[in-house]
Amino acid sequence: MAGYLQDVADVVDVLWEQFGKRGKARFPEALAIKDPRLCRLVPLYAAALAECGAAPRYVITLRDPWVCAESLYRRDGLPRRVGLELWVGHMLGALSVASGADSALVRYDELLRHPDEVCAALARWLVGPEEVSSTLVQTMRRSVAPELNHSAGLGRVPEIGDDWITRLACEMFDTLASQDLERVLGEFAAGWSEEFEERSVQCGWMSFDRVVVAHDSLSPMLQRHAEGRAGILLVRDGEESVSACSSSALSGEGVGVLYNLVDRGEAASLVRGASLCAGKPALLVLEGRKEYAAALVDWFLRWSGVGEIVRLLSADRELIAVGVPGDVQLGIDFWKYINSGDEPLQRMLLDCSEKRDLVLENDCENGPDWLARAGAR
């Protein structure tokens, strides 16, 4: 509770800094805040705005879920099915805030096609029919910039099957686009939220306190030893396949998949994977040494996950994996190395002053006491 109250106080400070008027004790009578993350952060912002003496009203923008999923896939390589799950989660977050609050819903495609009509309707909701002026509507109209719609031409991917998340996204979008918002909140939103909470994976690989990162293909031996003990993130070069679009096989057992859409190669892919671990210890596993799978996972789970980067070497001193502590991740500009061209992993290791080498023995050949002999801690 104390942490939450501090967060509210921090947001209050930012709001006054960004929107307060110098020399005046009152908060502005009208302001607009636009940020997609508000779908998740509205309770925090609402509490902060109340502290500032403001009464928030909410405008929910409805965009086609398949357009959003395709945009995330093309920009970040996020699997389309995961993009749909994000859309549903964010929209349910927005609806939970709208319930019982002064809220309006605007269809994004209608705003671009008929900006004058949509802006006029929104103005009537904001200030009341009697107070609407042409100046207000035109000011709102000037903020609509269709040329900034970077997802034009994107749409549903026909290969995505009719599993529960595509069906739920379709039902939510069609209902929100055709029904009054008040009716949606009263008759549909609770059922959608209940189904989503029961069936969503909640990003299974991130539910673990440490993550194994691999490139392109996942060794069955590595998966067998890591599954259920650590999250697994697979970073793949190339396009998402048709079978992957409709499959949830990699999303329910603590395994996540991310696509590069270009051929980044193993080293850059592993570095990119490390950038997504959110400050959790990461084990970047190079391909080709399957016999070390059990040893690597065993060491990783015993490792403290803090301190210096660890280069894990085979008995013949070949690099087979890299352990990146969670606290070290926060100080690394990963994209500097991802976009550096040749040998991004080696460049990152060269730049990190606090690192050490650990030579692993083949646990299959040398028995269970290999870890003590290797001097791991």
What are the pLDDT digits (tens) for 122-137? 999 988 988 889 898 9
pLDDT digits (tens, 9 = 90+) for 8-27: 889 888 888 888 765 556 77
Report the C-alpha gap between 88 and 197 in whole angstroms: 11
Question: Which residue did the predictor score with more confidence, 5 or 275?
Answer: 275
360 vs 285: which has the higher pLDDT: 285
Sorted by sequence, the CB contacts under 8 Å of residue 227 that are 6+ apart come out as: 253, 254, 255
- Furthest C-alpha separation in the chain: 84
What confidence score (pLDDT) does residue 362 get?
58
Provide the pLDDT for residue 247.
Answer: 42
Backbone phi and psi for residue 114, each to the nearest 5 degrees, phi listed first: -130, 65
Kind plus residue range of the DSSP H or E element containing 310: strand 309-313
Q: Would you state the pLDDT for residue 375?
A: 44
Long-range contacts, 222-225 (Cβ 8 Å, 24+) = 222/285, 222/290, 222/293, 222/296, 222/297, 223/255, 224/293, 225/293, 225/294, 225/297, 225/298
Residues near 24 by Cβ (< 8 Å), separated by ≥ 6?
none
What pLDDT was estimated at residue 125?
92
255 and 214 Cβ atoms separated by less than 8 Å: no
Residue 4: the pLDDT is 58
Least confident range from 95-99, 152-156, 192-196, 327-331: namely 152-156
- The whole-chain average pLDDT of the chain stands at 83
Q: Could you please report the per-residue DSSP string of 136-152? A: HHHHHHHT--GGG-TTT
- pLDDT at position 310 is 94
Which amino acid appears at position 200 of this protein?
Answer: S
C-alpha pair distances (Å), 320 with each of 67, 218, 283: 40, 15, 10
Judge contact between 158 and 145, C-beta under 8 A: no
Helices (H), the chain: 2-19, 38-51, 65-76, 80-98, 108-113, 115-127, 134-142, 164-178, 181-187, 189-199, 220-226, 242-246, 266-275, 293-302, 326-329, 334-338, 344-351, 363-366, 370-374
What pLDDT is recorded for position 250?
43
pLDDT tens-digit series, residues 77-118? 888 888 898 999 999 999 998 888 899 999 999 999 999 999
| Global pTM value | 0.74
The rounded Cα 33 to chain-centroid distance in angstroms is 21
Taking alpha carbons only, the member of 70, 87, 86, 68 closest to residue 240 is 70
pLDDT bin (cut points 50, 70, 90) of residue 252 is very low
Percentage of the residues of the chain whose pLDDT score is greater than 70 = 85
Provide the pLDDT for residue 161: 56
Predicted pLDDT at 160: 52
Q: What percent of the chain has pLDDT over 90?
A: 35
What would the mean pLDDT of 271-278 be, rounded to a whole number? 91
| pLDDT for 271 beyond 50 | yes
Residue 268 has pLDDT above 70, yes or no: yes
370 confidence band (pLDDT: 50, 70, 90): very low
Q: Region 207-223: what's the mean pLDDT?
A: 90
pLDDT over threshold 50, residue 246: no
* Residue of higher predicted confidence among 29 and 305: 305
Rounded distance between C-alpha atoms, residue 79 and residue 59, angstroms: 28
* Cβ pair 33, 84 in contact under 8 A: no
pLDDT of 316 higher than 70 = yes
Supply the pLDDT for residue 369.
Answer: 47
What pLDDT is stored for residue 150 in this prediction?
A: 67
Angle between helices 65-76 and 80-98 (to 10 degrees): 130
Average pLDDT in the 237-262 region? 67
Give the residue, 209 or 148, on which the prediction is more confident: 209
* Helix or strand run (H / E) with residue 309: strand 309-313
Question: Does residue 156 surpass a pLDDT of 80?
Answer: no
Q: Please answer whether residues 321 and 296 qualify as being in contact, where contact means their C-beta atoms are separated by less than 8 angstroms.
A: yes
User: What does the pLDDT average to over 305-318?
Assistant: 90
Q: Which residues on adjacent β-strands are paired with residue 313?
A: 319, 359
Res 106: pLDDT: 94
